[in-house]
Structure 1
């Protein structure tokens, strides 16, 4: 049996002080693999300065084009009008972003976010995307080809995936996702961008009837059902905070995710299931596909699309 490697990434590092506190603690205790930092968000400088002082090496860039909560809004770094809503902040929804954002402005903003992290001398380990805004899941307008080309220039792995796990509650439910993934992962291979094999999701919100114990058991079950290869899952951990609990939807689940990473039952399940926790340094070495094989796959998928359209 092949090894089962897992990356646990903390998204939204830099969103707010309560989230920063939780992520810093988990990184210090080595309870998670990595975190990805949000350059436009209000807690960015606190998070970036901490990374710089500690010489933290497992920090990625959370490419951020949306600002979803009324209580915590942010603007782009570049100020392009197409990246903002009528309030002057980044769009609240992925659909609004996909419909209104100019592609050149998007890429200029992503470069500005990369440069903001580099100014703090953070040795970025990888990149991923806040709310999946670049994937085209809302309207079909994807920026993934542009982003992969940029990651190739930066020499950074990117959060994508080669295969869809059949039990994933979000990804497996998307119509035609296998073909979309085949094309995107093949392009990553052609460009030399390293990616995981699988991305494992769970609902961001509290589902009906969910409690901490039910959430914990569902996450433990994922450890025993983990596919062979390299998988990534992500969390948005935060400490308890009265204001956030009142003003940010589902903040209680952010606290659950923090609590889960410190839970002995979850740590035991990882070991008992034979899961090897790793990070994007491992993906950088082991997550690249053959460029020749990827080129054949990409050509096949593009030709298939052409034939279907005839």
Structure 2
């Protein structure tokens, strides 16, 4: 087993709008993000995915959006939209957390098994999103990790992002420093840092700036963390 610390740097929400997609494509082309998750219900999806291919990336994660239907049907339909555009779908995750419920998780893991997809759910309980003492959620998480292992679904070791609403961030520097501090929590293995580069608000603009910031790049190098494209 490798003793390396590795991270996937993911740009979420690809397809939200063409302007944000162009920013993500530039970050892909420059090697500053190593993976992308796509919103399959986006307007003008084929053109935006063509931009991504031109930037050098032909594989994406399915960033599932709940539309009020059956989870299994939504997953199949959204997966087909991406593959019909010529993309290789390699992993599954959830926009706004719709898949991370007792009702949806079994369908998500079964879908991953059927299509040989990795799944965004960390092996380590994500205290960024849930209270340390949330016993019911801890139990659900442990059961889901065990089920993923039983089914052969790959999971990241740790999942990291900045969860502070943009209006509560005092400055870009505060955001950047929070991400750099997160790198100290990256264990041996493969983890994920996900960001939302775009134009829609200050936080998305700052996250686009973060991944090209020299201090961020130096922090990765100083900690000997290698960037990879999948777990």
Give the deviation of 1:22 after TM superposition.
Answer: 1.2
Counterpart for residue 77 of structure 2: 112
Structure 1 CA distance for aligned equivalents of residues 25 and 32 of structure 2: 10
Q: Which one has a bigger Cα radius of gyration?
A: 1
User: Which residue is equivalent to 1:299?
Assistant: none
1:8 aligns to what? Answer: 9
Deviation at 1:210, TM superposition (A): 2.1
- Deviation, 1:54, is 5.5
Once the two structures are superposed, residues 235-278 of structure 1 have per-residue CA deviations (whole angstroms, 9 ceiling, x without a partner) of 11014xxxx4xxxxxx1100000000111111010110111111
Paired residues of 1:12 and 1:236 also in contact (CA < 8 A): yes
What's the offset of the Cα at 1:169?
Answer: 2.9
Counterpart check, 1:201 vs 2:161: yes
The aligned counterpart of 2:104 is 143
1:260 maps to which of 206, 210, 231: 210
Q: Deviations over 1:27-62 (max 9, x none)?
A: 111101100111112252332222445562342111
- 2:141 maps to which residue? 181
Picking from 173, 176, 182, the partner of 1:213 is: 173
Indicate conservation of the 8 Å contact 1:14/1:46, yes or no. Answer: no
Distance 1:124 1:261, change over 3 A: same
**Which of 74, 91, 96 in structure 2 is aligned with 1:131?**
96
Structure holding more strand per residue: 2
* Counterpart Cα distance in 1 of 2:206 and 2:132: 25
Structure 1 residues 198 and 171: alpha-carbon distance in aligned structure 2, compared to 1, 3 A threshold: farther
Any idea what SS the aligned residue of 1:126 has? Answer: strand
Shift of 1:124: 1.6
Q: Distance in 1 between matches of 2:118 and 2:216?
A: 27
Residue 162 of structure 1, aligned match among 107, 123, 138: 123
What is the total number of aligned residue pairs between the two structures? 229
The structure-2 alpha-carbon separation of the partners of 1:170 and 1:43, relative to structure 1 and needing over 3 Å to count, comes to farther
Rounded Cα–Cα distance in structure 2 between residues aligned with 1:172 and 1:201? 16
Distance 1:56 1:35, change over 3 A: same
Distance of 1:18 and 1:188 partners within structure 2: 36
1:238 aligned to 177, 187, 198, which one? 198
Q: Is the 8 A contact 2:158 2:186 kept in 1?
A: no
Residues 59 and 87 in structure 2, CA contact (< 8 A), matched pair in contact too: no
- CA distance in 1 between counterparts of 2:64 and 2:55 reads 22
Matches within 5 A, 1:63-82: 63-65=64-66, 76=67
Task: Report the CA distance shift for 1:43/1:171 in structure 2 as closer, same or farther (over 3 A).
Answer: farther
Stretch deviating more after TM superposition (178-187 or 8-17):
178-187
Other structure's SS at 2:88 match: coil
- What 5-or-longer segments of structure 2 have no aligned partner? none
Contact kept? 2:160, 2:192, Cα under 8 Å: yes
Contact 1:164 1:199 in 2 (8 A): no
Higher relative contact order (CA 8 A, sep 6+): 2
Once residues 55 and 220 of structure 1 are traced to their aligned partners in structure 2, the CA distance between those partners, rounded to angstroms, is 27
Query: CA offset at residue 109 of structure 1?
Result: 1.6
How far 1:3 sits from its partner (Å)?
2.0
